[in-house]
């Protein structure tokens, strides 16, 4: 916080491999996207959130705020979230919007325990359905806010109707691909996890301390692509790494190791790893790399049903989504069908220029058209209105195919 630097460690490196200096003061959080852009809290005296663009290695202002951001998150629709601890609210801004001013998506600015209120929100997480999860620190609960809803649902802790597990000052929240919770519990100095059998302690189960298997006021947690957990152990002024190992019986375990760092280096590593975890943990049941899908239905002969595709975000030709040309953006897909055995799918995106009559199909070397989710780098597509269509076909059932389109104005 005091040195005004972002320090980056490459994998397995014991020393920083990159140092980024900037005009940020008392920064409390950062978030790194999968393309390497870094978002950093700069709300203490500059009243803004900054983005460091890895392509031109420069900072720009991407959100105006009236408070520090104790948590930052960028979802797959390119929206930036900021949790304001002392303002008791979470703000959101779509990064393609011209206006830098965000809007409230959780809390009403007054501390309280009603479903539309928060009391010191800390860590935040947004899943693939764009539901927002908030570690409601002083209310000792985890709140879920569905898209467009200002009244939350208490998922864990005080006020929960379905879970009796109690929390003591939860400060960090992460969900895995099955939507199970991993929670940093600052008050008890531990990490707890959820599975099919409920909640249990994962790390720091014998109380607070400074041993390698102990924590003291853990701030946040995140995963790397191998499933290892990194925890900002705030009270011990260090970052803890807990290695994930799988036995031959596929039972998972965590082996504790310690990496001591200066306190001002903590949020850097944690959030760089958080962006990788977001990609890893928030993927849909379809692998966009292998396009290999296994079903769990009984092995009986049964015809496959038709494919249903849902694209995120949604739009129509008469009301296209507007995106600034200097921004990267994503189109996400949800694909549903039922089949009796494992199979492969073939996915193919097509882009047509609809500025006049939607006839010209376009190809770009920088775009991978064969994945189920489409990533569009900035400055790739010229100004205009475009149709983006995903075509899905089952390789073993060539007659089963479907397509879905959305429209975007650059």
Has residue 165 got a pLDDT over 80? no
Instruction: Tell me whether residue 78 is in a domain.
Output: yes
Instruction: Tell me whether residue 287 is in a domain.
Output: no
The answer to whether residues 337 and 308 touch, using CB atoms and an 8 Å cutoff, is: yes
- What is residue 164's predicted lDDT score, i.e. its pLDDT? 66
In terms of domains, do 104 and 179 share one? yes
In terms of domains, do 310 and 208 share one? no
**How far is residue 81's CA from residue 73's CA, in Å, rounded to a whole number?**
5
Taking CA atoms, 83 is separated from 51, 80, 116, 171, 284, in Å, by 17, 10, 15, 11, 26
**How far is residue 143's CA from residue 41's CA, in Å, rounded to a whole number?**
23
DSSP characters for 341-369? S-EEEEEEEEEEETTTTS-EEE--TTS-T
Number of Cβ within a 10 Å radius of residue 212: 12
Instruction: Tell me whether residue 307 is in a domain.
Output: yes
Instruction: Tell me whether residue 269 is in a domain.
Output: no
- Report pTM: 0.64
Sorted by sequence, the CB contacts under 8 Å of residue 225 that are 6+ apart come out as: 276, 277, 279, 280
In terms of domains, do 66 and 203 share one? yes
Residues counted in the chain: 410
- Cα 254 to the chain's mean position, in Å? 23
The answer to whether residues 349 and 369 touch, using CB atoms and an 8 Å cutoff, is: yes
In terms of domains, do 195 and 309 share one? no
Of 242, 260, 290, which residue is a domain's last? 242
Res. 302 pLDDT band, cuts 50 70 90:
very low
Of 190, 210, 242, which residue is a domain's last? 242
Instruction: Tell me whether residue 62 is in a domain.
Output: yes
- Residue whose pair of structure tokens reads 């947690």 in the numeric block: 221
In terms of domains, do 212 and 327 share one? no
Average pLDDT over residues 181-199: 93
Instruction: Tell me whether residue 284 is in a domain.
Output: no
Number of structural domains found in the chain: 2
Res. 207 pLDDT band, cuts 50 70 90:
very high
- 372 DSSP 8-state letter: S
CA atoms lying within 13 Å on the CB side of residue 130: 19
Instruction: Tell me whether residue 137 is in a domain.
Output: yes
Domain CATH number, residue 373: 2.60.40
In terms of domains, do 223 and 316 share one? no
Q: 3-state DSSP call for residue 264? A: helix
- The least confident of 188-192, 224-228, 374-378 is 224-228
In terms of domains, do 202 and 327 share one? no
The closest alpha carbon to 223, from 186, 262, 184, 171, belongs to 184
In terms of domains, do 188 and 43 share one? yes
Of 194, 218, 242, which residue is a domain's last? 242
Instruction: Provide the domain limits for residue 342.
Output: 302-409
Has residue 128 got a pLDDT over 60? yes
Has residue 270 got a pLDDT over 70? no
**How far is residue 199's CA from residue 203's CA, in Å, rounded to a whole number?**
13
pLDDT in tens, 356-403: 888 778 888 888 888 888 888 888 999 999 999 999 887 777 777 889
- What is residue 338's predicted lDDT score, i.e. its pLDDT? 64
Number of Cβ within a 10 Å radius of residue 113: 15
- The least confident of 8-22, 32-46, 217-231, 297-311 is 297-311
Domain CATH number, residue 164: 2.120.10.30
In terms of domains, do 176 and 27 share one? yes
Instruction: Tell me whether residue 349 is in a domain.
Output: yes
- Residue whose pair of structure tokens reads 């990788």 in the numeric block: 276
In terms of domains, do 25 and 135 share one? yes
Paired tokens of 41: 């809290």
């Amino acid at each position: 916080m005091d040195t005004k630097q972002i320090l980056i460690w490459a994998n397995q490196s014991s020393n920083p491999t990159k140092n980024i200096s900037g005009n940020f003061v008392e920064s409390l959080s950062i978030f790194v996207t999968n393309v390497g852009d870094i978002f950093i809290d700069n709300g203490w005296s500059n009243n803004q959130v900054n983005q460091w663009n890895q392509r031109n290695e420069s900072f720009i202002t991407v959100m105006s705020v009236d408070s520090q951001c104790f948590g930052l998150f960028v979802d797959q629709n390119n929206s930036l979230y900021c949790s304001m601890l002392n303002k008791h609210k979470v703000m959101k801004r779509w990064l393609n919007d011209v206006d830098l001013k965000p809007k409230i998506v959780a809390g009403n600015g007054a501390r309280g325990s009603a479903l539309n209120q928060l009391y010191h929100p800390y860590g935040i997480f947004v899943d693939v359905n764009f539901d927002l999860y908030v570690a409601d620190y002083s209310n000792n609960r985890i709140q879920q806010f569905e898209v467009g809803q200002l009244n939350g649902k208490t998922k864990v802790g005080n006020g929960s109707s379905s879970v009796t597990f109690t929390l003591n000052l939860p400060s960090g929240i992460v969900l895995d691909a099955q939507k199970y919770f991993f929670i940093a519990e600052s008050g008890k100095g531990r990490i707890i996890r959820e599975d099919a059998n409920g909640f249990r302690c994962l790390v720091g189960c014998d109380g607070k301390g400074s041993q390698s298997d102990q924590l003291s006021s853990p701030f946040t947690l995140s995963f790397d692509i191998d499933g290892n957990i990194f925890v900002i152990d705030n009270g011990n002024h260090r970052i803890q790494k807990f290695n994930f190992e799988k036995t031959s019986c596929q039972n998972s375990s965590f082996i504790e190791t310690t990496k001591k760092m200066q306190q001002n280096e903590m949020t850097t590593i944690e959030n760089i790893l958080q962006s990788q975890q977001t990609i890893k943990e928030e993927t849909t049941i379809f692998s966009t790399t292998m396009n290999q899908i296994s079903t769990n239905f009984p092995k009986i002969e049964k015809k496959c049903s038709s494919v249903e595709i849902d694209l995120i975000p949604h739009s129509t030709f008469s009301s296209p989504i507007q995106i600034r040309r200097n921004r990267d953006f994503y189109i996400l897909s949800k694909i549903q069908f039922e089949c009796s055995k494992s199979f492969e799918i073939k996915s193919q995106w097509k882009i047509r220029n609809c500025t006049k009559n939607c006839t010209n199909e376009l190809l770009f070397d920088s775009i991978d058209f064969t994945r189920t989710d489409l990533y569009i780098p900035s400055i790739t597509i010229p100004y205009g209105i475009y149709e983006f269509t995903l075509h899905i076909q089952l390789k073993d059932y060539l007659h089963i195919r479907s397509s879905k389109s959305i429209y975007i104005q650059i």
